[in-house]
Structure 1
């Protein structure tokens, strides 16, 4: 058992104003692994006061001071890699290969990338007689999710620090312990008191207080579109900046070419990663109608190679994060069957031999139409929907026929065709044949949010721009 019953405010661990805690579950065993305190608006007030007080000095710090701090954080993170990976695996049920790999490596990558950007960034840029000056926004409220917890904390915190901001972080209450270890890292690295503050809690108690707080200048939120709407509504009276990375229902256009079967298999495997709990997951696979049967065979073979099981064993994927998430996924699998989609692999219920834990069968539906629930709703589980298209114009129309626009993919051998199709997809990201880049701007169109994270685009998100005319 591990308990984190204090919050990190003004450089020290402090008790909540009103003591209250909830259990934290291991989704692979359904056992309680510890308890975490749940904060309130009073705790947010304390943290905001500390952040505002410290902003007076940290906001005018120079690049050398910020770079020294980021390098110190980088060094301390390296010491806690194993602890962070083990905690992510325990809280999320992620296989250790995934926890040690992408979960921790993304965090390490973000701090290194932020250092590189800060080293070359010019906070004062002349344009004719005017000097454009980039300044910190102020106090940033951060609300982060459970599905890629370290990644989402890292890409917000490091960019905000580099820009000279102070902050109040509310990590997810579902998988909070990794954020507590991250906070121990920040303290060990010597973050000045009040620059970084962390309060555990739920959305109604802490998230609402952060998003509506008059002492917070910006809210950076990652989560569901439903919750994002509430964050924006709460933030509106104070006219603070709101940056949001929300839901997705990403299309993956499979080109009609000689590597078709290979592309289908790769797309299926990509969908199942992190147990399908990825907002950019390529959940709608688009294939030519004439090759639907071929797609079914390739997807079935690939899905059957995805082995759910014990995160400490040789499993490909672990459980989904909670019973509530499992129930939601099961309901949508049942809806797919009821609406007439062809069940190619997986299906309702738990995989054989995995009665304990929130495990979901890697599931593939084919002959899906874009009006079905499994094609329109974010399932957030290892469930792939395969839709047919007539030609590439039809594929683009289907791809864009969604309220979301976070990410998309194109797979095939014709690079020029892929590039031309990428320009027509209404989404913040397009991955051609699995292309990946930490410097690539990350964010969505439509109801997938606004603003950008990662790389220099994410760096700008935490800066205000002042134009001083007559400067020259």
Structure 2
């Protein structure tokens, strides 16, 4: 039983202004795994004031000092790696292997990427007699989700620290254990008091107070499009910068020129991409587009891949654990039922829990066929292990269907002809396009078009989110 009842403000663990606790549920067991304190606007104010006071000195630190700090954080993270993985498994129900090899690994990955970018980053350049200087934006409010908890913390905190910002983090109240360990890591690494602060709480209270606070210069939010709109509204009166990484309904185009083996491989990879992390990834390839002439082939491959996907307890060796909460389970089940009601055919999975898993928020790996792009399951982000398969007759039609969505976070395309596949990728309206199941790239910018948000995270592009550009005219004397 974890009791995390203090907030981290100005380099110390302190009690909340008003005591209020929340039980945190392990979604694999439905049992209470721990408690956290729930913050208030007064807690946020104290944290923001600490960050503001610390900004004066931390913003003036040298690159060498910040390099040393990131190196110290990485060293401390590695010491706590097993603790981090265990916390993510407990708070999310993520399979132990996924927590160890993917979830926890992303923390080290983003820290290391930020360190490497910082070493060579140009914070100023001279153009004629004018100096263009990139300076830290100030105090940052960071609001992170539950689905890839330390990934989203690290990809915001690491670049913010690297460029000289100070910050207040509000992690999801559904997955707060990893944020606690992250904070302990930063404290042990010697992050100066006030530079990083942690306040737990919910969106309507702590999130709103953080995004509306006049002393916060930037709010970086990852979560649903609905919540992102509220963050932007709260931020608008103070004209602060708002960075949003929001929802997705990513298309996955399987092109007709693939041979039988390549086609099966692409479909199988697409199914696995949806099922990973129990479908709880904003960039999951949830709309698979296949040629109508090869639909039977696609359905057979998708059915086999889905039915080969094991579901079970985090320590069972199963590929999928539960989804995060009863509310999410109800939403996913309702959308599967809605798809069937609107005419979709169940190829694999369907409503109800998998056999033998009555306790825990488990969902059957589900494939729905006979879907058109106007059905609810093709329009709304399900955020569970549910794939929809849509047919097309021409590549132009496939591209049109792919782009017919309010979202634009990611897109996927598989094809045999490299040039033709690249051309299709160039026509897809998404912030990140993956060709032929390419491996992740932590230096590639991550973010979306349209209602999937604005701004970019990961790698060098993340630095720009936390910087202001200052033009200093007359910095250099004119040449005689």
TM-score, normalised via structure 2 length = 0.98
Please state whether the residue corresponding to 2:315 is helix, strand or coil: coil
TM-superposed deviation, 1:128? 2.7
| Alignment partner, residue 347 of structure 1 | 350
C-alpha distance in structure 2 between counterparts of 1:211 and 1:415, whole Å:
44
List aligned pairs for 1:38-437, cutoff 5 A: 38-256=38-256, 257-258=258-259, 259-435=262-438, 436-437=440-441
TM-superposed deviation, 1:111? 0.6
C-alpha distance in structure 1 between counterparts of 2:9 and 2:472, whole Å:
36
| Alignment partner, residue 440 of structure 1 | 444
C-alpha distance in structure 1 between counterparts of 2:408 and 2:269, whole Å:
22
C-alpha distance in structure 2 between counterparts of 1:199 and 1:324, whole Å:
24
TM-superposed deviation, 1:321? 0.4
C-alpha distance in structure 1 between counterparts of 2:116 and 2:186, whole Å:
19
C-alpha distance in structure 2 between counterparts of 1:249 and 1:122, whole Å:
36
Moved more, 404-413 or 148-157: 404-413
List aligned pairs for 1:1-40, cutoff 5 A: 1-40=1-40
C-alpha distance in structure 1 between counterparts of 2:151 and 2:316, whole Å:
24
Gaps of 5+ in 1: none
TM-score, normalised via structure 1 length = 0.99
Q: Is the 8 A contact 1:292 1:367 kept in 2?
A: no
C-alpha distance in structure 1 between counterparts of 2:43 and 2:204, whole Å:
13
Aligned length: 472
Residues 8-38 of structure 1 show CA distances to partners (whole Å, capped at 9, x for unaligned) of: 0000000000000010000000000110000
C-alpha distance in structure 2 between counterparts of 1:432 and 1:451, whole Å:
22
C-alpha distance in structure 2 between counterparts of 1:9 and 1:471, whole Å:
39
C-alpha distance in structure 2 between counterparts of 1:362 and 1:284, whole Å:
15
C-alpha distance in structure 1 between counterparts of 2:385 and 2:111, whole Å:
30
Residues 322-371 of structure 1 show CA distances to partners (whole Å, capped at 9, x for unaligned) of: 00000000000001100111110000000000000000000001121000
Aligned residues: CA RMSD = 0.7
C-alpha distance in structure 2 between counterparts of 1:434 and 1:359, whole Å:
27
| Alignment partner, residue 466 of structure 1 | 470
C-alpha distance in structure 2 between counterparts of 1:467 and 1:290, whole Å:
58
C-alpha distance in structure 1 between counterparts of 2:312 and 2:346, whole Å:
22
